[in-house]
Structure 1
Amino acid sequence: MKNTGRTRSYPVVQMLTKTLYLAIPVVILFVVVSWFSFSEIRKQNNLALKSSVNIYQNELEHKLSAIEHFVQWTVVHDPILDAFDESGHMGDFRDASNELRLRVSDMQYSTGSEYMYFFYWDEKDIFFNASDLKVNYETYKKIKERIKSDVGTNYTWEPCMIGDNAFLYYSITYEHRIFSCVVSMEDILSPLSSINLGEQGSIQALSADGDVFYRTGEGPGGFRGNFYNRLIFPGAEADLPFTLAIDSLALGNYGRLFFLQFIVFLAALMLCFIMGGYVLVSYRKVILPIKIFSKSLSEIDSLKDTEGLVLTDSRVQELNQINDQFKNLIHEITRLRIDVYEAELDNNKFMIHFLQQQIKPHFYLNCLTTIDSMVSLGDMDAAKKMLMFTSRYFRYLFQVNNNFVPLINELAHVEDYLSIQNMRLSRPTQYETDLPKDCNQLSIPPLLLITFVENSVKHATPPEGESLKISIRAKKLLDAEDGAGDILEIVISDNGQGFDPQILNKIKNGEDIVSEDGSHIGITNCIKRLSLLYNNSFELIADNTEEHGARITLRIPVKV
């Protein structure tokens, strides 16, 4: 069989296509989220950097302000420096310088030892350092030259270059005495060294003119410069003598986390594409041949000849090996299915025949005994009637070889049975039927109604002073305009004491109601016959009427 479905679009292909289409908005969404994450991380990093620098500027401003006050008060008001006078001598100068060093040492305890203090008295050309030196001797000589050249000039904090080094310089001159404070920019900016600015991050100190007079590194350049941003911290806003320009990595401490997130996404995306390719290859190499195999199996029932059956192509070796074995299996299953079906059909026919035969002998002996009694008593007219009813009754039994008979024939058989019973028993039985004309030729199983009528005659006890009344009504319940699915409803009722509640419960639950003495075997066999003939597409309802009589409602498919 030639496979014509290989080029059609299967659901797996559609799913792969949808997956690829879905990947596009996912990638776009990731780019948007990544950009938002990048911007947010950059913003947070800048805020953290600004917060750190602001704290640093505030602390530095307090230190510089404290040093200004200390230098001004010392050179103007401190009596220690009064020793530097024309009337003084070297011993007084030495004691005053030592006392000044002690005062400066106390000041350095609160502001830091990196601030260097120098004193110069131009009248006697006395110059000495009032604190420990933090520079080499060559730089010390240049600082000394700068201070001597500034005699008579007052300086606020200002950046300056002394030699090759950048310093902050502050100096006050009062009555030929100069007191100065010098600190290197390296020491000034050292608190900011703990901030992670990135490998190429840098800090630049700018003068009031905007010139760079100190920097901690070369700063970012080239392509990597795109990942750095510059923040400006004006000195005027912080009351500092210099402006800071900081080049820091945009992502700061969160950079690794961001790039790790990006790499994980790329790895997941690559894995998705790899898995998609693997699924596509698996579909073409495995799933498609199996789908062809499944489709071929689904078409087996429609094939009259399975000799030319081809279940799959040659792309999967294992499926090719199944082809011949499966065709042989189909032949064997077909043969066994026919055998089982025929055996089951024979068994059902035997069961139906057996159940019918259980019904036929039920009334034989009693009828013959009654006729014999009538003849013995000389009541020949009654014997003739009894013989006529009995012969018709037996003739119907012996002629019923089919599974279905017309409903009107079955009702005539019930009338013969009741006529026989009325002649046998001392009590008369009243019988009425309601059979529409359109129900006369509808078919029902033979000897079906007689089972329930016989049960009423044997077990029903009418109220005192009344005779037994049996009613049979039939009608067709329409289910569709063309008659397909119509139901025949037959209701058999009497005016006896009704069913026992235990019997009703067993019938409702589908349990066997045959007792030890064999009573109700007819109803049990009737239910079995209906199951065999209608395959459970029937309904049998047993209940009691409001007058406590027994009622059987039977609904079976209409069969003409």
Structure 2
Amino acid sequence: MKNARRTTAYPVVQILRKTLWTAIPVVIIFMFVSGFSFWEIRRQNNLSLENAITIYQTDLSHRLDAIAHFVQWTVVHDPILDPFKTDGHVGDFRQAGNDLRLRVSDMQYSTGSEFMYFFYWDEGDIFINASELTVDYETYKKIKKKVIDDFENVDNTEGFSWMPSVIGGKTYLYYSITYRHRTFVSLVSIEDILAPLSNINLGSHGNIKFQSLDGNTYYQSATRPEGLLKHYYNELHFRGEDAGLPFTLVIESDMLGNYGKIFLLQFLVFLAALALSLIMGSYILATYKKVILPIKIFSSNLSRMDSLSDAESANLDLTDSKMQELNQINDQFKSLIHEITRLRINVYEAELDQNKFRIHFLQQQIKPHFYLNCLTTIDSMLSLGDVSAAQKMLQFTSKYFRYLFQADKDFVPLSSEIAHTEDYLDIQMMRLSENIEYSCDIDDKYMDVMIPPLLLITFVENIIKYAEPAGDSLQISITGSDYVKNDADYIEICIKDNGQGFPEEVITKISNGEYLTTDSGSHIGITNCIRRLKLLYGDDFEFYLENSTAGGAAVVIRIPRKE
């Protein structure tokens, strides 16, 4: 007994599909892990930097406070400066200066030798450096000039604080107090203040900015990165108010900092995995081109056969592959294509002819409905000698029948159908001598819309035959308006009367999509119209009947708007 063949996909297709679906999540996982690692390394680097800056700010704040206190105490309370008075001697001044330098030297031991101190006594015009100079002589002269200018121009009654000052092209922090004509100054360069931060890795384009408490930058250690590079650098703000400092530090640093090598190593692992995925993808692509694509082309060409003509089908190659099996199938299919296409066209044409015959039959079924009544009326008028009425009736009737017998097309302009309906009403008013109030409220822009012939007359004729008006006259109105459905344009035609309305079972059947077929043949006109609409539009139309609460009935037809 032969083994049953498997109907599942080929093994190669399954393997390729599994390989592809395995590679995709691997790449996604590595991207997610790399992104998370980048975020975590950045966070750790920022945290490390924040801890270092916090320690630095705390130490610097203590030193600045200590120096400020030392300067204040020395100039206000320390008797070491008492010899600087107008009745003193030069030797006393020299000894007092030496004592001041010793006092400052002791202070520098605890606060740092980078802080320079200067003393100025205006009454004796004495300016001395109270600490070892770390600047050249030209800068020293500029410092001296600034101290003297500040003494003469600055009001010291508003309080004291460390202020930025540019002297000789360098930025310094400057603290000065004047008391009883004696000015004591402490000065330190920004570069010396930044020295403890020199070991922090900020990156090749990292920089530190000093900003005043109102946000103005007065010093920047390096040029900030520009272009895309600036997005790779963090900007961290350390407020001076929070640390008790007279300035705010703004630090731009490499996102990864000291952890960059770790991330680089992990990124290389990711690149290796990505390279492996690309190799796998290349293998999948090569297999796809050599095996799967020819099969897909074969299948696609098969699906195109329905849209090709006989000549195109006969010349169609289902595959251009070098696979022998597919070429054999191609030759066998080409021998069958022509016959299959011919049979398909014959069946389609037969169905089309059948539909045209059914439409024509339904139209012809409508035409004879009114013939005999019109001829009988004309005969009666002639018998009574009313020749003018008979002549007028004959004119209306000829126009009516001329249109009726020429309505063999599937569609006619709405204006022609309206004119035909009005001719019918003229005939009825002469034949029945009834008072019929007719109105047509349709804009001229709708008159070129194409509708099936004899569509309106069916329902108007139904009103004349069956409607029992509530008042003295029968009222008939026809309206037309736009209707939009699924972004497509339709025209809505509504035919109303003031009769007794439709029976509920008729409305129910129409709502349920049923035909109004009875043994007596009543409502055959409505049924034929619905069938015609079905044949011409398929399901792309709406038709329903309704009764008004104030009396009367309405027929609503919605069909695609075709000019």
TM-score by structure 1 length? 0.48
Larger Rg: 1
